[in-house]
Amino acid sequence: MSTVTPMTTAKPVPSTEPDAGAAARPASQLGALELRGISRAYGAHTALHPLDLTIRGGEFVALLGPSGCGKTTALNSLAGLLPLTAGEIVLDGRRIDTLPPEKRGFGMVFQNYALFPHLTVRANVAFGLKMRGVGKAETTRRVDAVLALVHLGEQAHKHPGQLSGGQQQRVAIARAIVMEPPLVLMDEPLSNLDAALRLEMRSEIRRIHQEFGLTTLYVTHDQEEALSLADRLVVLHEGRVSQIGTPADLYEHPANPHVAAFMGYRNLLPLTVTSADAAGAAATGRGLTVRGTAVGDGQLREGGPVTVAIRPEDLRIAGADEPALGEAVAEIVEYHGRVLHVEAVTREGDRIHLKSSGTVRPGDALSVAVDAERALFFPEPAPSTVAATEPAGEVPS
Amino acid sequence: MSAVLDRPATAAPGTDPDAGRRRIAIKPGAWITWGVLGFFFLNLLGVIVTVLLNSFGSSWFRSWLPGGWTGHWYSDAWSEFSLGQVLWTTVEVTFLVVLISLVLAVPASYALARRDFPGKKLVMGLFVLPILVPPIAYGIPLATVLYKFHLAGSVTGVVLANLVPSIPFVVFTMTPFIEQIDPKIEAAARMCGARTWTVLSRILAPLLLPGMLAAGILVLVRTFGMFELTFLTSGPTSQTLIVTLFSAVNSAGIRSTQSIDAMAVIYTGTMAVLLLIALRFVNPTQLVARSTD
Amino acid sequence: MTVVLPQSPSRPALRHRLAERGVDRTLLLVLPGALAVIALFCYPFLYGLQLSFQPASGGVLGAYHAFFSEPFARKSIWQTFSLAIPASLINVGVSVPISYRMRRDFRGKRLLLALLVVPITLGTVLTAEGILEFYGPAGWFNHTLNLLGLASSPVQLTMNYTGVLLSLIISGFPFAYLLTHSYLSGIHPSLEKAASTLGADWWQRFRHITFPLLLPGLMTTFCLSFVMAFAVFPSAMMVGDPDGKTHVISIEAYEAALEHFDYAQGCADAMIMTVLMLVVIVAVTTLRSRLYSGSTGGKG
């Protein structure tokens, strides 16, 4: 039922392409990287609450969250660009949070690429090798191999200013991986590209990650990007971890309404619990009645508040014999190929979103229904920022 | 003031012992930096304070402080150098220069910012030259020409001479300013039916005003402090404050240094007020940058 | 330039062809400003140039000959350069490490920048007077040296080369620093961060990234500082050596034109001065054009 096919390989597939020059590369330079309660405060404001995370070699981990959630802080602390205020970072048993960025040996791809404008593509990529005193012949060999991997062999003599956005992005990646770093950090690397290029580079990044045997920590605010790229996701909210899990975990079993809203549960209804037992839970309010599944950490209590999260694609027009969730009038109908996206208004004035393969016209009165296992009951109140979150309905399969 | 570190200091030093160690390693560099700057400011302060003390001192020989205090050097200077008249000339000259250079240079900067035309480099070169050539080098031929036309020695001559560096200065301040105003705004106004005059008065003028204000104040400050050109072209009735000051020093001997210092303090005080006003509108770098190369 | 084609009936109207090259009525706006500069700068300059070839005696090149044959005048070139070049080098050279240290924001930075503007308010006369009194034999500076036991007898710092150099540094350093600072803050901080993640320590980051990106700006700063120092005139007269050790070329030109009323000689001196200065500027600019110059932002 999941529309996501997570990349299940914890161990990357070694490249078999001859031009990649990566065939003989070891699977990963990293055993395990442990973040033990790392935290960053600015005076009284804590940008990142203690974060525990273990990244295994070859893994692709995404840090996901809206802007200001602390994900860039976490990344910069890991890179050493921002000193920690608590916690430690341990790389294969060796503590590294005391090292300056240049001694950690991580590769980093910056949001604005941060290419050296006065150096050619080749010199940009070779910079790290030069700093480490790698010999000339060895440098040339490795730079050539990496440039071939990112398909930039032809552009080696150009300056960054002469390249397109996508090419600059590839240079930035090449520069970060030429050192064969144990960990590559990527800070929203696709946010400066247009939509089509973003899709293309997304597959490129995944391909490079696998062919080069990288371990990658990827920061993004785009859940679609995170779901399609990562083996594991860390969702941050206001500096705290909301949930850690595989894309399928998060997509199917969000831990709280924040994560649900992020994962495309577009209908978040504040209702009141009428019954809660082992068989299931029911809630009512605002002219609606729902049977659903209790999830999350807290306990449902009869008469207590509940947030019911339902995906638009799980909401359907009720059959003649099944109990309806409620009545709503279709207001906006968008054509999306085989399905229609319908925005309908309930009698109480709440907006609900559903998908329909049948014909719906604006003004039609709809009776909607949902399967009990597809309606998630969260004891917490709904996030106020739902409207600001983009739906994740169209996750590519 | 806290020491400048290579990285921001950690908020809770106790939690990260190594951050503290790094900070100590950074220190010598920071200390040298602060030391050099501190030495510079100390000397600067010394230079200013000695003049200030001297202007209020009755006599000062080989001691740390003057022997006694008095304010009469100021009244002496005021009457001796007829500062009232000098200040009036200074105000007259500066405001005329600001006004004329804005009127002449703002349209030119508009054309340079908006159009790309053959010979643009040449026109730019024409405006760069007066900034690159030192004032004294073109001031001497200019003074010669002004004497030929009997303009030297008058306020007109002084204003004309001061226009030479001011016009390019306004051009190079205003051109980047106009470039960052989106030309589509003018296009939008025209599409809404505004005629050229309306576009100018209702759209461009309000948008240009901050830039013109900044350029005007910068020209004001520079003309007030422009010594060489005014010195070469002014006569007894058209001297600005700085020229009077210099002449007083150079013909010194009969005059006491205290009353010269009093006049210098008046000059610096006025300039400081002007600069404080200017700094409200422009950043410090704009004060020194003659052009954006 | 395009090749001028033979006239043909289908030739577009002149107005259209001009519009194609960007020429339209807006360009008339350049005229008032340009004419004023031509009338007040170019014409006097050319007038001065032709006047310099008409001296009272000595033929066409008499004034130039007079300048170069008189040792006192000739030596003023050397004296100007020996003041202007060290002064600009010191000002720019000291500005680089200080502004590099201060490239990040910290409390009181704006105040510090504002304080650096103070020397601009002083004006030449107060600076000169202050130098005479502060660094003079009975001034606070020598008092302090004496107190610290660094000098037993007063050090002669004024009315000589040192005095003029001091005044050039006091008035020129803030100028150089503020310019360097603005060039440095134009370099995107992510470039240095990127270099540090690539294993460059602070010296390598400065040497390979910041300095090359800063160098064109430094050369411009040097040029402008040099122009300022080259034209040193009031301070050289007030705190300089009365015996002619700091008899710079601007004093030479001024004395010829406005003290001896020999306009031809004065103009000739002014022309020599302009040429010398332009030579230095052209040299630095040529050097600069061989360097990378372009965006210093994060994106190429």
pLDDT band at A388 (very low <50, low <70, confident <90, very high): very low
Which among B167, B174, B145 has a CA at the least distance from the CA of B232? B145
Q: pLDDT tens for residues B188-247?
A: 888 887 887 888 888 888 888 888 888 888 888 888 888 888 988 988 888 888 888 888
- Residues A292 and A372 sit within 8 Å (Cβ to Cβ): yes
Among the partner-chain residues A43, A98, A100, the one whose CB lies closest to the CB of B11 is A43
Which among A227, A232, A260 has a CA at the least distance from the CA of A395? A227
* pLDDT at res. A5: 41
B245 CB-near residues (< 8 Å, 6+ apart): B260, B263, B264, B267, C123, C125
- Rounded alpha-carbon distances, angstroms, from residue B65 to B165, C135, C139, C144: 42, 15, 10, 13
CA dist A381 and A306 (Å) reads 7
| Best CATH choice for the domain A18-251 from the list 3.40.50.300, 3.90.1170.10, 3.40.50.1360, 3.30.2350.10 | 3.40.50.300
Q: pLDDT tens for residues B93-151?
A: 999 999 999 999 999 999 888 888 888 889 999 998 888 888 888 999 999 899 889 88
- Residues A257 and A380 sit within 8 Å (Cβ to Cβ): yes
* pLDDT at res. C124: 76
CA dist C243 and C79 (Å) reads 13
Which among B3, B40, B50, B38 has a CA at the least distance from the CA of B23? B3
* pLDDT at res. B167: 94
Q: pLDDT tens for residues C104-123?
A: 777 777 788 778 877 877 77
Length of chain B as a residue count: 293
No. of helices (H) and no. of strands (E), chain A: 9, 20
Determine the residue among A38, A42, A84, A102 to mutate to test chain B binding: the one whose Cβ has the most chain B Cβ atoms within 10 Å: A84
Q: pLDDT tens for residues A238-250?
A: 888 889 999 998 8
CA dist C6 and B291 (Å) reads 43
Residue C60 carries which DSSP code? T
> Which CATH number is associated with domain A265-378?
2.40.50.140
> Which CATH number is associated with domain C61-299?
1.10.3720.10
- Residues C170 and C127 sit within 8 Å (Cβ to Cβ): yes
CB-CB neighbors (< 8 A) of C190 in chain A = 110, 112, 114
Gap from C291 CA to chain A (nearest CA, Å): 9
Does residue B289 have a pLDDT over 80? no
CA dist C204 and C211 (Å) reads 10
C122 touches chain A (CB under 8 A): no
- Rounded alpha-carbon distances, angstroms, from residue B43 to A379, A391, B48, C144: 69, 64, 9, 12
Gap from C136 CA to chain B (nearest CA, Å): 11
Strand ranges for chain A from DSSP E? 32-42, 45-56, 60-64, 86-91, 94-95, 107-109, 184-187, 216-220, 232-237, 240-245, 267-277, 280-285, 288-294, 305-310, 316-317, 326-336, 339-346, 351-356, 365-369, 376-378
Does residue A164 have a pLDDT over 80? yes
The phi, psi pair for A219, rounded to 5°, reads -105, 130
B51 CB-near residues (< 8 Å, 6+ apart): B261, B264, B265, C126, C129, C130, C133
Helix (H/G/I), strand (E/B), else coil: A294: strand
Helix (H/G/I), strand (E/B), else coil: B246: helix
Which among B53, B224, B227 has a CA at the least distance from the CA of B134? B227
Closest chain B residue by Cα to residue C288: B293
CATH 3.30.2420.10 fits B76-287, yes or no: no
pLDDT band at B253 (very low <50, low <70, confident <90, very high): low
Mean pLDDT of A223-233: 90
A residues 40-59 closer than 8 Å to B (CB): 41-43
Contact between B141 and C45 using a beta-carbon 8 Å cutoff: yes
Does residue C289 have a pLDDT over 90? no
pLDDT band at A394 (very low <50, low <70, confident <90, very high): very low
- Residues A223 and A263 sit within 8 Å (Cβ to Cβ): yes
Determine the residue among A78, A103, A116, A168 to mutate to test chain C binding: the one whose Cβ has the most chain C Cβ atoms within 10 Å: A116
* pLDDT at res. C187: 87
| Range with lowest mean pLDDT among A220-229, B83-92, B278-287, C93-102 | B278-287
Mean pLDDT of A205-211: 89
Mean pLDDT taken over chain A: 82
Where does residue A188 fall: left (phi above 0), alpha (psi -120 to 50 degrees), or beta otherwise? left
Residue A152 carries which DSSP code? -
Gap from B83 CA to chain C (nearest CA, Å): 16
* pLDDT at res. A356: 85
| Range with lowest mean pLDDT among A324-328, B1-5, B24-28, C136-140 | B1-5
- Residues B290 and B169 sit within 8 Å (Cβ to Cβ): yes
- Residues C131 and B5 sit within 8 Å (Cβ to Cβ): no
Domain ranges of chain A: 18-251, 265-378
Domain ranges of chain B: 16-70, 76-287
Does residue C43 have a pLDDT over 60? yes
* pLDDT at res. C90: 94
Token pair belonging to C195 = 């270099």
pLDDT band at A232 (very low <50, low <70, confident <90, very high): very high
pLDDT band at C235 (very low <50, low <70, confident <90, very high): confident
- Residues B233 and B147 sit within 8 Å (Cβ to Cβ): no
Instruction: Give the pTM.
Output: 0.78
C110 CB-near residues (< 8 Å, 6+ apart): none
Gap from A83 CA to chain B (nearest CA, Å): 7
Domain ranges of chain C: 61-299
Closest chain B residue by Cα to residue A45: B11
pLDDT band at B27 (very low <50, low <70, confident <90, very high): low
* pLDDT at res. B22: 42
A85 touches chain B (CB under 8 A): yes
